Structure 1
Amino acid sequence: MATRYYISLPDPQKARGGTPLSFTSHGAEGFAQELQDALRSDGLFERWRATQDDPDNVDAALGATDPAATVIGKQDDLHIDLIATTSIPGAVFKHRLRLLAGSAWELRDVSAA
């Protein structure tokens, strides 16, 4: 069962963070594409896992993927709104967002897709 997440990036500059895992985009479509890629494949998870003290001991469930995940991005004044639709569990979804944006994102709403 898929869930729709409504995300706001109030300050896109802060969402780009300063880590090698952070968002790098400058527009709504780019942020949406990066998040969609992070949900559809395990690339971001694998890069993060490689930075852990004991990569082999990382919970494999955090690497869940959803090849059908979609993310739409929209610029709204100075912030960016993202709508992500995915079957990835909520805890994994939030973990991916923390990797990409640190604490510079807000969960506005959640609904069944």
Structure 2
Amino acid sequence: MTNRSHYYLQIKDLLHARGAEPQLSYDGAGPNDFAAALQEALRSPLLFQRWRAMQPEPEEIDERLGVTDQLAKVSAKLVDLCTDVEVITDLSMSIVRQRLNWLIGANWQLHDVRPA
């Protein structure tokens, strides 16, 4: 049995939402592009591996920070000039937060978490 969670997030200005590190940052054009980027970041270790390689001592980074969920599902849509994002995953909020911050920095807000 997994502990899948349904995270409800909002991004106020997706057009300008970018992470601090350009090599990791989201650079898409809209909600569908962002959903695809976040879903890839949750399903694949590539974003984590890029971040890890940028660290002064990459071999000292805990591999568990790169955990993924092959079944993660992300959808996003424009609602009242904001982007509503739904994430269904068994990853912890700390891992979801990590990937969001790499992609769009602190330009998001968690509204609710429910069992999926």
TM-score range, shorter chain: over 0.9
Segments of 5+ residues of structure 2 without an aligned counterpart are none
Which residue, 35, 39, 61 being the options, matches 1:58? 61
Deviations 1:12-66 (Å, cap 9, x if unpaired)?
A: 1331345221111111111101000000010110011111111011111110000
Inter-partner Cα distance in structure 2 for 1:17 and 1:66? 22
Tell me the residue number matched to 1:72. Answer: 75
Q: Is the 8 A contact 1:16 1:25 kept in 2?
A: no
Tell me the residue number matched to 2:48. Answer: 45
Two-structure CA RMSD over aligned residues (Å): 1.1
Give the alignment's TM-score, normalised by structure 1: 0.94
Q: Is the 8 A contact 2:19 2:102 kept in 1?
A: no
The percentage of counterpart residues that share the same residue type is 41
Segments of 5+ residues of structure 1 without an aligned counterpart are none
Tell me the residue number matched to 1:92. Answer: 95
Q: Does 1:30 align with 2:40?
A: no
Inter-partner Cα distance in structure 2 for 1:102 and 1:14? 10
Which residue, 7, 10, 17 being the options, matches 1:8? 10
Q: Give the count of matched residue pairs.
A: 113
User: Where do 4+ consecutive residues of structure 1 move more than 4 Å?
Assistant: none
